[in-house]
Amino acid sequence: MTAFSFSILARDGAARRGRMTTAHGNVETPAFMPIGTAATVKAMRPEDVAATGAEIILANTYHLMLRPGAERIAALGGLHRFMNWPRAILTDSGGFQVMSLAKLREIDEAGVRFRSHLDGTPYRLSPERAIEIQALLGSDIAMAFDECTPFPSEEPQARASMELSMRWAERSKSAYAPRPGHALFGIVQGSVYPELRQRSAAALAAIGFDGYAVGGLAVGEGQATMFAVLEATLPALPAERPHYLMGVGKPDDLVGAVTRGIDLFDCVLPTRSGRTAQAFTRRGTVNLRNARHAGDPRPLDADCACATCRSYGRAYLQHLVRAEEILAPMLLTAHNLHYYAELMQDMRRAIERGTLADFAARFAEQQGEGDIPPL
């Protein structure tokens, strides 16, 4: 089986155009991962997700641990077979969901005790168990178990949280059994404090991972602060490994992060927005609840080649939204994921040509025009 690898094919400033090779195919980077929380990308069949251009998705360790259970998925042939997704899968370690969803959390050196948000069942999640669950799922990329530092946090709290995550990262690495085509990524923590972020990056680099994620951002700190954290953190990470920004984000977040050296993203925004009547276009966001679209026959984006834009106008989409038809989130989610995939493809081409700065400038100029009515 092919070994996991990451190759940088072109550079433009700090931006990189690369390729990850996994057990389930190549992933061209920069890349965006649709969220398949419970072994499904909401409102989409797996084959439709692939048709948008996605080469990798993210699934959720916490949710799959609770339902249907990692051991059951393993007995059924692993997550790829279980959800009929033959391409690459990254699984998060569950740390963020334990902090944000679980009840009665108790954190200590060993891990976290918590009760399921579904039925109150008690669980214990440690670095070792998080790695075991991800191995049972069979994901191509597993994540080290970490504590997602609350925001805002004073520096002493952020430092203690980061140092705990680094100790858990060591244990995650020790528990991980390497397999061809599979990888383990570490997660940088440290809140908004550059010195803590740099210490975390150095600690992870010393442990040695196949890739490095920046966690604990997009939690309320604002875009300028997020970019400042990336600028302080990324130079401290091994340059030859993939860099993953977790839980981000809006299209302009992606463009700004790519220019700073990020290779991989995930976020619920395109799928969640598709279920709440929001569509992303080259000229900004379209809100299909706005009355101005009721008689508008235009597609969401005249330059978009997705099936939604090829076949349906804004007036019909608004009708579906207002009638609360199931087809509305299906069509809008498909469009949004296609938009995100095409945005990443456009940035890959710009990096290859050395024109990413021009692309970013044009992108910024065009935003905000999506809801402008026809003349």
80-127 pLDDT, tens digit per residue, is: 999 999 999 999 998 888 777 777 788 999 999 988 889 999 999 999
Give the chain's radius of gyration (CA, Å): 20
**Residue that has been written with the tokens 């339902």 in this structure:** 67
Contact present, 113 and 124 (Cβ < 8 Å): yes
CA distance 143 to 131: 8
Q: What number is the average pLDDT over the span 4-11?
A: 98
Query: What's residue 101's pLDDT?
Result: 76
Is 266 an active-site residue?
yes
Query: What's residue 184's pLDDT?
Result: 98
Position 375 confidence tier, pLDDT thresholds 50, 70, 90: very low
**Residue that has been written with the tokens 């944000």 in this structure:** 100
Residues in the chain: 375
Point out the catalytic residue in the list 253, 263, 266, 301: 266
Q: In 3D, which of 238, 240, 221, 241 has the Cα closest to residue 229? A: 221
**Residue that has been written with the tokens 């809801």 in this structure:** 371
Reading the block at residue 337, the tokens are 């994921």
If one counts every other C-beta atom within 10 angstroms of the C-beta of residue 165, the result is 28
Peptide bond into 46 cis (omega under 30): no
pLDDT of 353 > 90? The answer is: yes
Position 370 confidence tier, pLDDT thresholds 50, 70, 90: low
CA distance 307 to 317: 13
Q: Which CATH superfamily is domain 5-267 in?
A: Queuine tRNA-ribosyltransferase-like (3.20.20.105)
CA distance 141 to 343: 23
Task: Map residue 153 onto helix, strand or coil.
Answer: coil
Q: In 3D, which of 241, 189, 233 has the Cα closest to residue 212? A: 241
Reading the block at residue 358, the tokens are 């021009």
CA distance 298 to 317: 10
Give the residue extent of every domain in the chain.
5-267, 274-366
- pLDDT, one tens digit per residue, over 297-332 is 999 999 999 999 999 999 999 999 999 999 999 999
Q: What is the mean pLDDT of the chain?
A: 95
Query: What's residue 371's pLDDT?
Result: 63
Q: H or E element: which one contains 164?
A: helix 155-175
CA distance 297 to 300: 9
Q: What number is the average pLDDT over the span 198-215?
A: 98
Query: What's residue 99's pLDDT?
Result: 74
Query: What's residue 53's pLDDT?
Result: 97
Q: What number is the average pLDDT over the span 326-339?
A: 98
- pLDDT, one tens digit per residue, over 20-38 is 999 999 999 999 999 999 9
Point out the catalytic residue in the list 92, 140, 210, 253: 92
Query: What's residue 2's pLDDT?
Result: 87
Query: What's residue 372's pLDDT?
Result: 58
Pairing relationship of beta strands 15-22 and 5-12 according to DSSP bridges: antiparallel
Q: What number is the average pLDDT over the span 51-56?
A: 98
Q: What percent of the chain has pLDDT over 70?
A: 98
Query: What's residue 315's pLDDT?
Result: 98
If one counts every other C-beta atom within 10 angstroms of the C-beta of residue 326, the result is 9
Query: What's residue 100's pLDDT?
Result: 79
- pLDDT, one tens digit per residue, over 127-153 is 999 999 999 999 999 999 999 898 999
- pLDDT, one tens digit per residue, over 227-274 is 999 999 999 999 999 999 999 999 999 999 999 999 999 999 999 999
